[in-house]
Amino acid sequence: MKDDAFILFLRYPEPGQVKTRIARKLGNDRACELYRCFMKDIAVMSHGVCAETILVYSGPENAVFPDFTGIRCIRQKGEGIGERMYYALTDVFALGFKRCVLIGSDSPDLPERMVNEAFDRLVSHDVVLGPSCDGGYYLIGCNRAALCRSIFSDIPWSTGGVLSATLNRIAEAGLLYTQLEEWSDIDEIEDLNLFYKRNDHQKTMYQTMKYLDTIGIVHV
Report if residue 64 sits inside a domain.
Answer: yes
Each residue's pLDDT tens digit, 42-95: 999 999 999 999 999 999 988 999 999 899 999 999 999 999 999 999 999 999
pTM tops 0.85, yes or no: yes
Collapsed DSSP state (helix, strand, coil) of residue 209: helix
Collapsed DSSP state (helix, strand, coil) of residue 101: strand
How confident is the model at residue 10, as a pLDDT?
Answer: 97
Report if residue 124 sits inside a domain.
Answer: yes
- Domain of residue 29 covers 4-214
Collapsed DSSP state (helix, strand, coil) of residue 217: coil
Each residue's pLDDT tens digit, 183-199: 999 998 899 989 999 89
> What mean pLDDT, rounded, does the chain reach?
94
CATH number at residue 58: 3.90.550.10
Each residue's pLDDT tens digit, 122-169: 999 999 999 999 999 999 999 999 999 999 999 999 899 999 999 999
